[in-house]
Amino acid sequence: MAIFDYKAKSQEGATINGAVVAPSENVAYNNLRDKNLFVISLNERKKSGALQISLSFLNKIKSKETVVFSRQLSVMISAGVPLVKALKTIVRQTENVNFKVIISDLADEVDGGAKLSTTMARYPKVFTNFFIQMVRSAETTGKLDEILLYLADEAEKDYDLKGKVKGAMIYPIFILSALIVVGALMMIFVVPQLLGVLTAGGGTLPLSTKVLIFVSGAMQKYWWVLVLLVIGLFAGYRMFSRSAVGRRAIDRFIIRVPIFGKIANGTYIVRFSRSLSTLLESGIPLGQALDIVGDVVGNSVYHDLINETITEVQSGNSITTVFLRSKDVPLMLPQMMSVGEQSGRLDLILKKVAEFYARELDNSTRNLVTLIEPIIMIIMGIAVGLLVSAILLPIYNLSSAI
């Protein structure tokens, strides 16, 4: 597929500048002609192979960009700007080339009579099923501006949630990675020179020094084995995580691991509660809403629970039946859902649950950063202590013998 920049005239005589994705120039020309556009110029964007890979990476559409898109479109529609004109205005304001092409296609398709939600469904990597279903419900109710603004707010909350979780994880991962790299360099280049002096002096070496000599020698001679082992483990993990059994096992481990599991669980509950509340509030039936939310949560354990819940709901049973049986879900969630189901305000109760767990998650991430700092200091102290004792003890023994 290639990107073609075009300049064309509409049937009303207006000049249109945009971009279209097509396998060839002829196909691009025919696509534009089918949309009743008179093509003035059509040029393919030329890129070298390396540059194309680089630009493809740089032009990846981020969730933040869809948030800005939703806000801009909402503001213009609420101001009375026609949908097609609003989309074409956003095309000119968008810097991301890939996103510019997609929005241009949305404008052309809507101008040709297609629904916005139907065209968005052609880009599942950009617009989630949740996003598309919300837009579809807005097209029915005529409240597209309100729904787009609401989607932007919800997407920002999800973006901030991911940022907090990632921020809590970056510090310990960076410190531990630095410790491993520095430790490996010391074992390969620094420690052998120090140990050479100690072994040359004779005498009995303590156990810690013997272990250090063995590890250092192994890393010097067989470093390539360690590299291959790391690569093999990474490749094996990738293959395992892509299988259904592996993905389920990893996702279950993520929500059960101490400390970090609580944060992960809170993240999934916030996504589930917030998304389901939004869909129900928009008038989408419970079974269909659960089906959409199953793809939004992002964890196969919760996905399986939601699928089982859909079956229960379709059979006339309570929405809480499956969640109450599960050991992976906090008891508070099904209990609050039961209250909402009995009172007929499930959407409102789920919104309260999402707010509660969002606050809990915020506190947990802050506490995690505070807790990790002394733990890392203790690990560093133990590692340095073992290294120093393995080197200083034989020196002390050697000086005592003299």
Q: Distance between CA 12 and CA 18 in Å, rounded?
A: 17
Structure tokens at 92: 């000119």
Give, to the nearest 10 degrees, the angle between helix 346-401 and helix 207-221.
Answer: 110
Q: Distance between CA 231 and CA 162 in Å, rounded?
A: 28
Q: What is the mean pLDDT of residues 49-61?
A: 49
Which residue carries 């700007």 as its tokens?
Answer: 81
Q: What is the mean pLDDT of residues 359-379?
A: 79
Q: pLDDT tens digit string along 91-100?
A: 888 888 888 8
CB-based contact 171:369 (threshold 8 Å): yes
> Model confidence at 228, in pLDDT bands (50, 70, 90)?
very high
pTM greater than 0.85: no
Nearest of 354, 370, 361, 296 to residue 164 by alpha carbon: 361
Q: Is 88 helix (H, G, I), strand (E, B) or coil?
A: helix
Q: What is the mean pLDDT of residues 195-219?
A: 73
> Model confidence at 46, in pLDDT bands (50, 70, 90)?
low
Structure tokens at 155: 């997407």
Q: Distance between CA 22 and CA 359 in Å, rounded?
A: 47
What are the structural domains, with CATH classification, of the chain? 1-46 (3.10.20), 260-358 (1.20.81.30)
